[in-house]
């Protein structure tokens, strides 16, 4: 895969050629690279934050979004390959957590470098049964009602017909990625894993987050933060999340140097 394709998928808001580790960040359904715009200023100077530009949003608005996690991960694995020339970590929230997990497994299948750290946020362990209703094919009125319940789409977007006309196809595609996913059992990953959850998240319980422990042979940590499912956007939770990430990454970098 060419370097051009890599830069189409991944960019650094604050390029840092001297960084000792790259942190690739994947968005939740309907989200884009802007979610992580302030992160480079809150993490250690040894870390270069690389945000993901998925098709169908932002700079790739005219591209068709993926509707299948397998296809998305296959394309992401090829795009990220040129950027694995130094240690790296993966972070993903909700849909992004699924991408991060399956991307780590796909890279292992391809005998490519493995993440030095995996961060999972706001997503139950993949082997647990999914009892959530299918929403990606709901009539638009019902889909918008579900978006209001999830509380992840700004009210000004929900109440703006032209913006919603752009967002609905993307949200249907992303919800399809999540809701058609089928977990395939595999060997646990050999890297540290930190899982983050929201204390007021009504969709993902602490027990469902704890169950991620089965998918790792390295160090495991669970950190619960204030907020609902979108706690990473919460003014109270975000500094705590970034502080925890900074500690984990700094310790990992220090351990690699020794």
- pLDDT at position 10 is 96
Distance CA 88, CA 72 (A): 20
167 domain residue, yes or no: no
Q: Is the pLDDT of residue 98 over 70?
A: yes
Distance CA 70, CA 180 (A): 10
Which structural domain range is residue 60 located in? 3-127+185-257
Residues forming the active site:
94
Neighbours of 28 (CB within 10 A): 25
The residues pairing with 88 across neighbouring beta strands, listed in sequence order, are 22
Q: What is the DSSP letter of 78?
A: H
Q: Which residues contact 246 (CB under 8 A, 6 or more apart)?
A: 42, 43, 44
CATH number for 58: 3.40.50.1820
Most confident by average pLDDT, 43-47, 219-223, 252-256 = 219-223
163 domain residue, yes or no: no
Q: What tokens appear for 87 in the block?
A: 């240690």
The model's pLDDT over 151-191, given as tens digits with 9 standing for 90+, comes to 667 676 666 677 777 778 888 899 999 989 999 999 999 99
pTM of the model: 0.92
Into how many domains does the chain fold?
A: 1
Q: Is the pLDDT of residue 243 over 70?
A: yes
The model's pLDDT over 107-139, given as tens digits with 9 standing for 90+, comes to 999 999 999 999 999 999 999 988 777 677 767
- pLDDT at position 239 is 94
101 domain residue, yes or no: yes
């Amino acid at each position: 895969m060419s370097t051009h394709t890599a830069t189409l998928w991944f960019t650094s808001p604050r390029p840092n050629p001297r960084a000792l580790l790259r942190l690739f960040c994947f968005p939740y359904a309907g989200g884009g690279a802007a979610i992580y715009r302030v992160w480079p200023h809150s993490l250690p100077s040894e870390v270069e934050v690389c945000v993901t530009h998925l098709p169908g949003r932002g700079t790739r608005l005219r591209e068709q979004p993926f509707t299948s996690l397998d296809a998305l991960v296959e394309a992401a694995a090829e795009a990220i390959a040129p950027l694995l020339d130094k240690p790296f970590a993966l972070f993903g929230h909700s849909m992004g957590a699924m991408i991060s997990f399956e991307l780590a497994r796909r890279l292992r299948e391809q005998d490519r470098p493995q993440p030095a750290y995996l961060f999972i946020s706001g997503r139950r362990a993949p082997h647990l049964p999914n009892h959530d209703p299918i929403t990606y094919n709901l009539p638009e009125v019902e889909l918008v009602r579900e978006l209001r319940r999830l509380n992840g789409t700004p009210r000004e977007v929900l109440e703006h017909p032209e913006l919603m006309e752009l967002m609905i196809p993307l949200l249907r595609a992303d919800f399809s990625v999540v809701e058609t996913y089928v977990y395939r059992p595999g060997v646990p990953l050999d890297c540290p894993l930190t899982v983050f959850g929201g204390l007021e998240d009504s969709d993902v319980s602490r027990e469902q987050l704890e169950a991620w422990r089965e998918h790792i042979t390295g160090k495991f940590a669970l950190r619960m933060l204030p907020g609902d499912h979108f706690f990473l956007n919460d003014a109270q939770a975000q500094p705590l999340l970034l502080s925890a990430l900074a500690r984990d990454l700094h310790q990992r970098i220090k351990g690699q140097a020794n």
